[in-house]
Amino acid sequence: NYKELEKILFSMDGKSYSLYKSLKGEYRFEKYILAIDHVQSDPYAPPSKMRVIMDRKICGIPCELTDTKDKNIAVSDFLTRNFYREIQKSGNDSTGTGGSGRIFIDRCGQEILERTSVMIKGDKVEVRFEMGMPARGRRIMGKAAQKIIFEQLPEIVEKSIIYDNLNKKALNEQVILVLDQEYARKMLKEKGLVAFVANDSVLPRESGVSDRPMKNAVKFKSPEKFEITLKLPSGKEISGMGIPKGITLIVGGGYHGKSTLLAALERGIYNHIAQDGREFIISESDAVKIRAEDGRNVEKVNISGFINNLPQNKDTRAFSTENASGSTSQAANVAEALEYGTSLLLIDEDTSATNFMIRDARMQKLVAKEKEPITPFIDRVKELYDNFGVSTILIVGGSGDYFDVANHVIMMDEYVPKDVTEKAKEIAKSDENKREFSSNDKFQGVTQRIPFKRSFSQSGKLDKTKAKGKYSILYGKDLIDISGLEQLVDDSQTNCIAVMIDYFKNKVLDEKLTLSQAADRIYEKIEKEGLDSISSYTGHPGNLALPRKQEFCAAVNRYRKLKIK
């Protein structure tokens, strides 16, 4: 019935834009069904949502390329990138008003994420994209619409989705790459490691606004002591630096590449595309970057392991503030990370509160233990590992106090890592002016918190959650600022968090589940029924990319009206 659609489009030419709404429905084309799920109400509104639904037989992608979840993600990512590229090649420019006549699909960055943009399931392949329905002023441009839907779109689909037209070698390589990366991540535990950085990796990025690899960077080379070799499922063997469990200190002069190394480890939770330079920088998938985030809201978090005896007897086992200081925010970030579950903390001096990280011997002599509410991280880091199994990799370039507690010390020297563990230990041993352990008690762990359903009690029109760029989410009129979440990499992850919060407050919260358990419910649902299943739309689910549980929970914790039982 595509002939019919063509006729309708011609007949609409010059008529009022709102008539486009009548196009909602499904149309059979030669190789696929075009589903028009949602039509924009005017040319400036977000573009119309559509899907191409194709039989797998016609698409031709072999089953063995998609028979596991990891493979499926690798192929979907590949097809999304293809579709995006073909849109650009097709001369995707706007002739009319607003976004008229343009086609959009979710844009992938350097990471390979689980997305809704292309879904391969059962005997169907579905592409979810958007189109700005063409207009001049508020009048329909019927011929232009016909051209996009009947010429431009079929060509894009043909070139980017049909297996015979794809770069089969590149597709196959991407699948193999993802499997190798996933395997390497699984191997970490077996080898007693928390992270791995392959030799010849490129760590620095092109610029502060580009996530592409820096050209002419100094390539990574492991210190001999930490060098290990992984044998991958593809048969490839890669050597590089294995960072063992425990406490690893990164030191070195300013500008020698410390933060760049840590940033690469932060992103090592994700798989990366070929040529990124970080393909085999692999971290524990639950690694959490911990930073100071002053000004953030904290709701009944047990930070007593780090902060105690506040003036006026403020309880730090259920500590709340609307405006956290550097140290309390960092303490809350650690406590919350432990609540959702993590096996590796990543800390950079550049984004830490000094009084949270260290207190030296002289200051200990001057200010009595009883007068200082903070137990600095240096006095908890060993307990975290010994009693809770949580490792830490941290950068401290300005104080040698951590030599006492570190299991390994790596020095960055002109972008090259060196093992300086023994030397650091010697220096620590020969130092007479030792600091003391500064707490009176042991680290008690954290408290799981149960959110009240009434935290989310906006009514009517305000009861809407919406992402605004990568770092903000609006719930009604309330802004959730997630700019402190440095491991979030994609706008579509933020979109997804917004959708998850909706699902969370409507379907999961029940006054019994802790935040962490409630989050698990959502991920179980996604695991069973797919990422689409949490979207409230039928058809095109919106551009969603799966964030980790850590980022989802962190976003909920930054909602200023969150109330805890």
Binding site for ligand ADP (CB under 6 A): 203-204, 214, 217-218, 252, 254-260, 412, 415
Tell me how far, at minimum, the Cβ of 133 lies from Mg ion, in Å. 49
**Rounded distance, CA 315 to CA 310, Å?**
8
Size of the site for Mg ion (CB under 5 A): 3
Tell me how far, at minimum, the Cβ of 401 lies from Mg ion, in Å. 18
Cβ closer to ligand ADP: 136 or 212? 212
Tell me how far, at minimum, the Cβ of 251 lies from ligand ADP, in Å. 9
- The CB-nearest residue to Mg ion is 259
Residue 169 near residue 176, CB atoms below 8 Å: no
When CB distances are held under 5 to 8 angstroms depending on the partner's kind, the choice from ligand ADP, Mg ion, none that residue 241 binds is: none
Count Cβ atoms below 10 Å from residue 201 Cβ, excluding itself: 24
When CB distances are held under 5 to 8 angstroms depending on the partner's kind, the choice from Mg ion, ligand ADP, none that residue 203 binds is: ligand ADP
Region binding Mg ion by CB under 5 A among candidate stretches 108-116, 129-137, 253-261, 319-327: 253-261
Residue 49 near residue 540, CB atoms below 8 Å: yes
Closest CA to 516 of 562, 465, 560, 557: 557
When CB distances are held under 5 to 8 angstroms depending on the partner's kind, the choice from Mg ion, ligand ADP, none that residue 204 binds is: ligand ADP
Q: Which of residues 322-381 bind Mg ion (CB under 5 A)?
A: 350
Tell me how far, at minimum, the Cβ of 204 lies from ligand ADP, in Å. 4
Cβ closer to Mg ion: 26 or 350? 350
DSSP states of 376-426 as a string? -GGGTHHHHHHHH--EEEEE-SS-GGGGGT-SEEEEEETTEEEE-HHHHHH
**Rounded distance, CA 425 to CA 10, Å?**
80
**Rounded distance, CA 551 to CA 332, Å?**
15
Cβ closer to Mg ion: 122 or 208? 208
**Rounded distance, CA 156 to CA 82, Å?**
9
When CB distances are held under 5 to 8 angstroms depending on the partner's kind, the choice from Mg ion, ligand ADP, none that residue 522 binds is: none
Cβ closer to ligand ADP: 91 or 254? 254
Tell me how far, at minimum, the Cβ of 446 lies from Mg ion, in Å. 28
Give strand pairing partners of 408. 248
Tell me how far, at minimum, the Cβ of 434 lies from ligand ADP, in Å. 27
Tell me how far, at minimum, the Cβ of 256 lies from Mg ion, in Å. 9
CB neighbour class for 411 (10 Å; exposed up to 12, middle 13-18, buried from 19): buried
Give strand pairing partners of 243. 195
Cβ closer to ligand ADP: 260 or 514? 260
Cβ closer to Mg ion: 262 or 298? 262
When CB distances are held under 5 to 8 angstroms depending on the partner's kind, the choice from ligand ADP, Mg ion, none that residue 257 binds is: ligand ADP
- Classify strands 288-290 and 344-348 as parallel, antiparallel or unpaired: parallel
Tell me how far, at minimum, the Cβ of 469 lies from ligand ADP, in Å. 24
When CB distances are held under 5 to 8 angstroms depending on the partner's kind, the choice from Mg ion, ligand ADP, none that residue 318 binds is: none
If one asks whether residue 285 binds Mg ion (CB under 5 A), the answer comes out as no
Among 259, 316, 375, 492, binds Mg ion (CB under 5 A): 259
Q: How far is CA 228 from the centre of its chain?
A: 28
CB neighbour class for 368 (10 Å; exposed up to 12, middle 13-18, buried from 19): exposed
Cβ closer to ligand ADP: 38 or 205? 205
**Single-letter residue type at 546:** L
Cβ closer to ligand ADP: 133 or 262? 262
Cβ closer to Mg ion: 32 or 356? 356
Tell me how far, at minimum, the Cβ of 398 lies from Mg ion, in Å. 11
When CB distances are held under 5 to 8 angstroms depending on the partner's kind, the choice from Mg ion, ligand ADP, none that residue 255 binds is: ligand ADP
N-term to C-term CA, the chain: 57
Q: Which of residues 294-323 bind Mg ion (CB under 5 A)?
A: none
**Single-letter residue type at 241:** M
**308 Cβ contact list (under 8 Å, min separation 6):** 316, 373, 375
**Tokens standing for residue 530:** 């797919």
Closest CA to 122 of 492, 493, 525, 532: 532
When CB distances are held under 5 to 8 angstroms depending on the partner's kind, the choice from ligand ADP, Mg ion, none that residue 260 binds is: ligand ADP
Grouping H, G, I as helix, E, B as strand and the rest as coil, residue 244 is: strand
When CB distances are held under 5 to 8 angstroms depending on the partner's kind, the choice from Mg ion, ligand ADP, none that residue 227 binds is: none
Residue 326 near residue 361, CB atoms below 8 Å: no
DSSP for residue 276:
S
CB neighbour class for 186 (10 Å; exposed up to 12, middle 13-18, buried from 19): exposed
Tell me how far, at minimum, the Cβ of 262 lies from ligand ADP, in Å. 8
Dihedral sign for Cα atoms in the order 274, 280, 284, 287: negative
Interaction site with Mg ion (CB under 5 A): 258-259, 350
